[in-house]
Amino acid sequence: MPVRLSDHSLKDFDLARKPAYDRRDITPGILHIGIGGFHRAHQAVYTEDVLAGGDHRWGIIGASVRSTTMRNRLIAQNFLYTVCTKGADSNEYQVIGAVKDVLTISQHQHQLLDLIASPQIKVITLTITEKGYCLTPSRELDEQHPDIQHDLSNPGSPVSAPGLLATGLKQRMEQGSGPISIISCDNLSGNGRSTQKAVTAIAGLYAGEHAHWIRDHVSFPNTMVDRIVPATSDTDTLRFLQETGIEDNGLVICEPFSQWIIENSFAAERPEWESAGAQIVDDVAAYEQIKLRLLNTTHSALAYLGLLAGYEFIHQAMADPVLSGFSTYLLDKEISPLLQSPGGFDLEHYKRSILERFANPAIHYRTAQVANDGSHKLQQRIYPTIAEHSRRNTDSPGLVLVVAAWLHCLSTAKYASQFSDPAAEIIRTYSGDNLVERVSSETTSFGVIWEDAKFRTQIKDAAAELKQSSVQTLLQRIMVSN
């Protein structure tokens, strides 16, 4: 009979590395908003190592923005879950005990506000995806966003992450609970500064003095995070049960590689994450740019081109020699020549590691999952490089084709039904030859690059080619010509 993972059954899980401390000694010092798979396979693992090192002040209270799914899954197993790290040849299991509770904004709003205001909570971390910050393409608070409109009308009952933070920080100020650090761990350019903009902007719109208090008592370090964490499938959960005899409805799958770089800008005490392998640096910008423009751009390219080529998973797309070759071409020819590396950073090794990680056959990362939210992601990952090529009067036909592939996927029912995008409704109202011109009239959703006539012409040409030739033919043509 299968045994459900719990404090009681943990002793029988012989295959796993287990919490090296008494969980009853742990007190919560971190509130994490957006407790999905990535957080549980990334920041929570670093924090687990800190707890194992003897500093027991950093238990995690997790929060979901809307869904109750994660709470329902984890509460039945005492908030324990397993991280399964999949190498090409073997798996490693680690049970994480750092999470003390999981709440949801919809059901535990006032409890979460109390936690933000609690002097015991010194750190708030976020993984809410790019769209969760309710920002415009110019990285300002989107005051017309439905969630922001709700929060402005109901400041005591926020539903957005920026609104929740602003309201909770007001309570923290009033209670005299002291400074706090808020750490975004999303793939958002200048994620700390963007979070700061969103939170202080909505605090200012609340017409409260706490916007000034936030500037003086709250830090928003920039970060760069990196680990491939595909969505856990029912097949993964069943295979785990068969291999271990343990039923774990919070199982998370990830690759061996993990990286976390954090700006040394903290307003209060924090975990010693560097003891667990994180890097604390003075400036994250160069690392962030390298990751966004090399790894994330290539990931998006494999997602949209892989979908069009009929591949379900990223590793299958990488097994196609043409798509694999095109990934190398993008990294070497169109992206890295425009980048500056931090001192001591081995750019060539990093590029090769990207290709090896994407090709890992043990990591089943769906192309459709990576394709989600492209209207936000491309603005961070691809458009800046295309714009830089334009300023230098050089070409980037591969990157342009990736954008055209995204637009083609989003405007074609066969592909659009497989992934989600905040701009999907807008695209569905457009059709035919007018699509590119209509998109260019929606720069709030798609980015200012669409105002550029040369860029629009390039997208139109690439889109026409996608309708006439196979993906492989177009990629080979680009690689041969450049």
99 and 170: one domain? yes
Structure tokens at 164: 């929740």
Exposed, middle or buried: residue 73 (CB in 10 Å: 0-12, 13-18, 19+)?
middle
**Is pLDDT of 434 > 90?**
no
CATH code assigned at 205: 3.40.50.720
Same structural domain, 163 and 301: no
Residues 6+ apart with CB under 8 A from 364: 230, 233, 236, 253, 313, 315
- Identify whether residues 395 and 320 lie together within a single domain: yes
Q: Tens of pLDDT along 312-338? A: 999 999 999 999 999 999 999 999 999
Q: At what angle do helices 161-175 and 210-217 cross, to 10 degrees?
A: 90
Q: Which residue has the tokens 């423009």?
A: 293
Last residue in a domain, options 281, 298, 315: 281
Identify whether the C-beta of residue 11 lies closer than 8 Å to the C-beta of residue 2: no
State whether 271 and 210 are in the same domain.
yes
Out of 30-34, 104-108, 165-169, 316-320, which region has the weakest mean confidence (pLDDT)? 104-108
Q: Are residues 240 and 333 in the same domain?
A: no
In a shared domain, residues 377 and 252: no
**pLDDT digit string, tens, across residues 76-96:** 999 999 999 998 788 999 999
Considering the domain architecture, whether residues 65 and 124 belong to the same structural domain is answered as: yes
- CATH, residue 419: 1.10.1040.10
**Last residue of some domain: 216, 249, 281?**
281
Token pair, residue 250, equals: 């919070």
Report percent pLDDT > 90 for the chain: 86
In one-letter notation, the amino acid at residue 198 is: A
- Residues 244-263 have a mean pLDDT of 96
Domain shared by 409 and 314, yes or no: yes
Q: Which residue has the higher pLDDT, 179 or 433?
A: 179
Query: Which of the four pLDDT bands, split at 50, 70 and 90, describes residue 143?
Result: very high
For residue 448, the enclosing domain spans 285-481
- Residue range 63-69: mean pLDDT, rounded: 91
Q: What is the pLDDT of residue 433?
A: 62
pLDDT computed for residue 139 by the predictor: 85
Give dist(CA 102, CA 151) in Å, integer.
23
What is the C-alpha to C-alpha distance for residues 429 and 315, in angstroms, rounded to an integer?
A: 34
Rounded CA-CA distance 50/273 in Å is: 7
pLDDT bracket for residue 257 (50, 70, 90)? very high
Give the length of the chain: 482
Give me the number of domains the chain comprises.
2
Residue 224 shares a structural domain with residue 360? no
Q: Which pLDDT belongs to residue 117?
A: 98
Q: Based on the number of CB atoms within 10 Å of its own CB, is 139 exposed (0-12), middle (13-18) or buried (19 or more)?
A: middle
Residues 267-288 have a mean pLDDT of 96
pLDDT value, residue 432: 63
Domain end marker among 226, 252, 281: 281
Token reading at 89: 């040849």
pLDDT at residue 437 in the model: 84
**What number is the average pLDDT over the span 107-116?**
96
Q: What is the pTM of this model?
A: 0.89
Three-class DSSP category at 55:
coil
Q: Is the dihedral of CA 362, 296, 417, 455 positive or negative?
A: negative
Cβ 255 vs Cβ 363: under 8 Å: yes
Kindly give, in sequence order, each residue whose CB lies less than 8 Å from that of residue 12, ignoring residues fewer than 6 positions away.
Answer: 3
HSE of 356, CA atoms in CB hemisphere, 13 A: 11
Find the helix packing angle between 453-468 and 397-410, rounded to 10°. Answer: 70
| Average pLDDT score over the chain | 94
pLDDT at 444: 77
**pLDDT, position 2:** 79
Whether 178 and 112 map to the same domain: the answer is yes
181 and 322 inside one domain: no
Q: Are residues 270 and 307 in the same domain?
A: no
Q: What are the tens digits of pLDDT across the range 380-406?
A: 899 999 999 999 999 999 999 999 999
pLDDT band for position 431 (cuts 50, 70, 90): low
Neighbouring-strand partners of residue 181: 123, 219
Convert the pLDDT of each residue in 351-362 to its tens digit.
999 999 999 999
Amino acid 469: pLDDT: 95
pLDDT tens for each residue of 171-205: 999 999 999 999 999 988 899 999 999 999 999 99
pLDDT at 43: 98
Find where tokens 């650090």 sit. 181
Q: How confident is the model at residue 242 (pLDDT cuts 50, 70, 90)?
A: very high
Query: Which pLDDT score is estimated for 450?
Result: 92
